[in-house]
Structure 1
């Protein structure tokens, strides 16, 4: 009897260390972030609304190795009555990623991987003060990078993941269009190239996975 219990305990501990990272497992992730900030004073009211949504799918093509696709959408609206201006920023994009998991303790894993991403954004600003004018920015950004972090496979169906380290190379092209009160039109185009890295605990964020 004791021998059977020992074998069962060993089998359970092995399964705890291995579930959800095995070949053929699917992982669906999602995220919603919504904030509103309102400042009211004598004769004015400023309001800032930020909303972002993410949806992702991953597939373990072999044990502890996952490929994934993430889609993102963001909408930010700012209204400033004190200087009579409105701003709206829309962005959407996606990224392809690869992650490899390394067991640490039971269901806690470290991971490292890489990704390629694309983001399109458009920012419109309208000023209706003494000299009305409108300005719009359209940007396309491309990025490749490496990153790593920690994943906790809470149960067979759920996991919680955070990103701790990252390094990215980005290229972006932005077009600016401005129309003034006298219909004077200005158009600017500029590009940028950037290499950046973020250290331990910087830009801490979490992702929730549903596994099946």
Structure 2
């Protein structure tokens, strides 16, 4: 009986200890988001399909301090069919470098704060087959530098869940628009923007799953 109580006490003690994020730990994260919306009627069918994928790698170069690299890919397709057909496809590729420092809160729950720098390239092609057919394409380059923070739950020594709650970013983007109509009339436009954006506790809620080794 005493032996069983001792084993139980040890198990409870282990469960109450925060899993130390020690120097040399590797962290792999991944995410998949896929959705399809379809609306149809007598003479039309509208369909929107969104897919996004993320893959990340992090390394604890010292206790509770991690550097990381994240890669992202997105593909969005839309079709609108009635008497005429309109289609749209957008592809995006990106990546960012990040630094995070973790602060223990309760048991296996940690808060973190850090910074990141990222780049995203996207291309959007739209085709309008109406009375005046037209093909429009957009290409965009976006650069961002920012700070962010959130909460991480180290479920076990091998798995963790993380959410981003707060962020502030400086964003610079350059977009080029090209249009070609049925008469091969070509127009080209360029847009640039620079802004500071911030998102609050609920607005920027997102999750990551980590595999630690």
Does residue 124 (structure 1) correspond to residue 125 (structure 2)? The answer is yes
What displacement does 1:10 show?
A: 9.3
When the two structures are superposed, what TM-score results if normalisation uses the length of structure 1? 0.93
Shift of 1:11: 6.8
**Offset, 1:18:** 3.4
Distance 1:10 1:53, change over 3 A: closer
What secondary structure, in the 3-state scheme, does the structure 2 residue paired with 1:12 have?
helix
CA deviation profile, 1:69-96 (whole Å, cap 9, x unmatched)? 0000000000000351000000001000
- The answer to whether the aligner puts 1:90 opposite 2:91 as a matched pair is yes
Count of equivalent residues: 209
Q: Is the 8 A contact 2:24 2:62 kept in 1?
A: yes
Alpha-carbon distance in 2 for matches of 1:179, 1:61: 52
Say which SS state the counterpart of residue 18 (structure 1) adopts. coil
Q: What is the match of residue 24 of structure 2?
A: 24
- With the length of structure 2 as denominator, give the TM-score of the two structures: 0.93
- In structure 1, the residue matched to 2:103 is 102
Q: Which moved more, 1:95-104 or 1:197-206?
A: 197-206
Residue aligning to 2:80: 80
Find out whether 1:156 has 2:186 as its counterpart: no
Structure 1 residue 8: deviation in Å?
5.0
Q: Which moved more, 1:105-114 or 1:80-89?
A: 80-89
Unaligned runs of 5+ residues in structure 1 are: none
Partner of residue 208, structure 2: 207
- Deviations 1:134-157 (CA, angstroms, capped at 9, x unpaired): 000000000000000000000110
Could you tell me how far apart the structure 2 residues matched to 1:124 and 1:63 are? 46
Instruction: Name the counterpart of 1:181.
Output: 182
- Which ranges of structure 2 fall in alignment gaps of 5 or more residues? none
Q: Deviations over 1:28-58 (max 9, x none)?
A: 0000000000000111100000000000000
